[in-house]
């Protein structure tokens, strides 16, 4: 395994190379096609910084802020996408959803395609990113971002409004959670729904507020996955113990689907503690009654649960689900929980599964090639302890 200091040096070199390559793009104004993209910060809440993200590029820039399109991309490609987005910011209270500047962002985010935009700044963008800074802390929920600057003015043109989004934006009677689900059912991508929620565009008119991006991402995953799981309630169980594996960006996943007519879900994470030279494990578990606390592994839990909920919904099946996620030291740049959601979506969509006759065999295979021992994984798992004690309804009719 690479040491933390080795990776940090590589990361610092990447950031310097990026600045040298792009310094000519940083001026007191910028024009380009926003993907469309916005960002709402959380520092200082209930007063927050927010604004559009615009690259010095024209045409179709959707890929720059669409995690759904990033599977198969390498780390440098994704960092190039993110760092190309210059973030203009202004400060507002979270209740200021009807301010003209914010309504212009709402118009932007309703666009069905990249929107030509222009930002003017009070000064040149600060050559700063949350990817590498001695004074920054990593944001594990949202993807990294590029330079930011105080915004003097913002203008957007060439908007083609998505009518489905416009409808729920105009509906001031439907609850925000219901609107999120309806947008999802109407084919709006997760990455766009969380921006709509973030800009205070959904819910009862009098209750609408700005929601920091890192919170809106997890809230969107939570709302949609809760809806999907509720729909599984009367589905029959899967027939066999199924294991699927996947790895990207130094994250290794084993997904175990267990026969069960009652929903159970657990995610166990292991990450490397460079100081103590060992893996540290944490987990969260829920049964059919749902989660009774905010997950200790934070937004990763909801992102994984959404991907699983979609899969079982497509299969019209129910199951108990155990996910192992092993995070290796090379994952020094947290890319956001999108890589969990999209990675598990990908493995469930396109990878061949291994089928087993019993839980123990499935566990042995799932832990093969992982660095954490099987005993450490199962010692942290509540589902493992509970599963063997549960009787399925069908057993009473044999």
Decide: pTM greater than 0.95: no
For residues 133 and 232, which has the higher predicted lDDT (pLDDT)? 232
Range of 34's domain? 4-226
Domain end point (choices 226, 256, 278): 226
The verdict on 183 and 249 lying in the same domain is: no
In a 3-state reduction of DSSP, which class is residue 346? helix
Q: Hey, what are 348's tokens?
A: 């469930």
Question: If we measure between CA atoms, which residue out of 310, 327, 313 comes closest to residue 267?
Answer: 327
pLDDT tens digits for range 277-286: 899 999 999 9
> Is 97 a member of any domain?
yes
Residues 238-289 pLDDT 10s: 999 999 999 999 999 999 999 999 999 999 999 998 888 899 999 999 999 9
Count structural domains, the chain: 2
- Do both 94 and 169 map to the same domain? yes
Q: Kindly report the average pLDDT of the chain as a whole number.
A: 89
- Residues 333, 388: one domain? yes
| 73 and 215 belong to one structural domain | yes
Element (H, E) at 81: helix 75-83
Provide φ and ψ at 70, rounded to 5°: -100, -5
Write down which residue in 181, 196, 226 finishes a domain: 226
HSE (CB half, 13 Å, CA atoms) of 54? 31
Does residue 232 sit within a domain?
A: no
Report DSSP letters for 146-180, one per residue: --EEEEEEEEE----B-HHHHHHHH-SSS-HHHHH
């Amino acid at each position: 395994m690479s040491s933390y200091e080795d990776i940090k040096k590589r990361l610092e070199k990447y950031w310097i190379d990026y600045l040298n390559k792009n310094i000519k793009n940083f001026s007191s104004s910028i024009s380009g096609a926003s993907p469309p993209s916005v960002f709402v910060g959380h520092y200082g809440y209930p007063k927050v910084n927010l604004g559009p993200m615009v690259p010095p590029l024209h045409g179709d820039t959707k890929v720059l802020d669409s995690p759904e399109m990033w599977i198969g991309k390498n780390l440098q490609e994704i960092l190039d996408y993110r760092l190309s987005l210059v973030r203009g910011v202004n400060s507002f209270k979270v209740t200021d959803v009807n301010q003209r500047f914010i309504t212009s962002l709402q118009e932007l985010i309703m666009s069905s395609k990249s929107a030509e935009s222009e930002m003017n700044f009070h000064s040149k963008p600060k050559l700063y990113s949350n990817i590498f800074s001695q004074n920054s802390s990593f944001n594990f929920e949202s993807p990294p971002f590029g330079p930011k600057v105080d915004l003097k003015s913002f203008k957007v043109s060439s908007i083609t409004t998505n009518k489905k989004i416009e409808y729920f934006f105009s509906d001031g009677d439907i609850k925000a959670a219901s609107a999120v689900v309806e947008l999802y059912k109407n084919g709006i991508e997760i990455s766009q729904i969380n921006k709509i929620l973030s800009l205070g565009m959904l819910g009862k008119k009098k209750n609408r507020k700005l929601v920091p991006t890192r919170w809106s991402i997890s809230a969107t995953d939570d709302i949609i996955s809760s809806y999907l799981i509720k729909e599984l309630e009367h589905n029959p169980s899967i027939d066999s113990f199924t294991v699927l594996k996947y790895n990207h960006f130094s994250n290794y996943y084993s997904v175990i689907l267990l026969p069960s007519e009652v929903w159970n879900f657990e995610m166990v994470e292991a990450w490397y503690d460079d100081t103590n030279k060992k893996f540290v494990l944490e987990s969260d578990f829920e049964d059919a009654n749902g989660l009774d606390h905010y997950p200790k592994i934070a937004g990763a839990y909801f992102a994984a649960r959404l991907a699983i909920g979609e899969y079982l919904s497509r299969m019209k099946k129910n199951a108990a689900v155990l996910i192992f996620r092993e995070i290796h030291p090379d994952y020094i740049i947290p890319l956001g929980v999108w890589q969990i959601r999209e990675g598990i979506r990908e493995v469930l969509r396109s990878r061949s599964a291994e089928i087993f006759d019993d839980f123990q065999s499935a566990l042995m295979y799932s832990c093969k090639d992982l660095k954490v021992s099987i005993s450490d994984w199962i010692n942290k798992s509540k589902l493992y302890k509970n599963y063997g004690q549960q009787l399925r309804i069908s057993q009473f009719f044999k």
